[in-house]
Amino acid sequence: MSDKVILTGIKPTGMPHIGNYLGAYKSLIEMSNSHKTVAFIADLHALNSVHDAKTVKQHTYEIAAFILAMGLNMDNAILFRQSDVDAIYKLNTFLMNVTPKGLMNRAHSYKAMLEKNAASGDDPDNGVNMGLYTYPILMSADILLYNADIVPVGADQKQHVEFARDIAEYFNRMYGNVFRLPEPQIGVDAGLIPGLDGRKMSKSYDNTIPVFAPESELRKKIMRIVTDSKLPDEPKNPDESTIYLLYKHFANAAEIKNLRELFENGKIGYGDAKKILFEKINSYLDAPRKRYEYLMSHTDELDKILADGAARATAIANKTIERVRRAMLG
Q: Is 200 a catalytic residue?
A: yes
Can you tell me the distance from the alpha carbon of 275 to that of 269, in angstroms, rounded to the nearest whole number? 10
Q: Is 203 a catalytic residue?
A: yes
Can you tell me the distance from the alpha carbon of 196 to that of 200, in angstroms, rounded to the nearest whole number? 9
The one segment of 7-15, 96-104, 215-223, 283-291 that binds ligand TRP by CB under 6 A: 7-15
- Among 199, 247, 198, 244, which Cα is nearest to 225's? 198
Query: CA 272 → CA 214, 231, 234, 250, distances in Å?
Result: 21, 12, 14, 17
Instruction: Tell which one of 36, 45, 90, 221 touches ligand TRP (CB under 6 A).
Output: 45
Does position 165 interact with ligand TRP (CB under 6 A)? The reply is: no
Does position 151 interact with ligand TRP (CB under 6 A)? The reply is: yes
Can you tell me the distance from the alpha carbon of 280 to that of 214, in angstroms, rounded to the nearest whole number? 15
Does position 221 interact with ligand TRP (CB under 6 A)? The reply is: no
The one segment of 4-12, 199-207, 243-251, 302-310 that binds ligand TRP by CB under 6 A: 4-12
Evaluate whether 137 touches 96 at the Cβ level (below 8 Å).
Answer: yes
The one segment of 48-56, 149-157, 208-216, 272-280 that binds ligand TRP by CB under 6 A: 149-157
Cβ 127 to ligand TRP shortest distance, Å = 17
Nearer to ligand TRP, 49 or 265 (CB): 49
Does position 42 interact with ligand TRP (CB under 6 A)? The reply is: yes
The residue ranges of DSSP E strands in the chain, in sequence order, are: 5-10, 36-41, 77-81, 150-153, 183-186
Instruction: Tell which one of 98, 153, 209, 310 touches ligand TRP (CB under 6 A).
Output: 153
Catalytic-role residue among 57, 158, 200, 267: 200
Cβ 2 to ligand TRP shortest distance, Å = 18
Query: CA 159 → CA 61, 156, 282, distances in Å?
Result: 27, 7, 34
Phi and psi at 37, nearest 5°, equal -130, 135
Q: 244-303: which residues touch ligand TRP (CB under 6 A)? A: none
Phi and psi at 17, nearest 5°, equal -105, 175
Catalytic-role residue among 158, 203, 230, 275: 203
Q: How many Cβ atoms from other residues are within 10 Å of residue 74's Cβ? A: 15
The one segment of 63-71, 136-144, 219-227, 234-242 that binds ligand TRP by CB under 6 A: 136-144
Does position 317 interact with ligand TRP (CB under 6 A)? The reply is: no
Strand pairing class (36-41; 5-10): parallel
DSSP label at residue 181: P
Does position 60 interact with ligand TRP (CB under 6 A)? The reply is: no
Nearer to ligand TRP, 88 or 276 (CB): 88
Instruction: Tell which one of 64, 79, 139, 317 touches ligand TRP (CB under 6 A).
Output: 139
Does position 11 interact with ligand TRP (CB under 6 A)? The reply is: yes
- Among 255, 240, 194, which Cα is nearest to 23's? 194
Which residues participate in catalysis according to the annotation?
A: 116, 200, 203
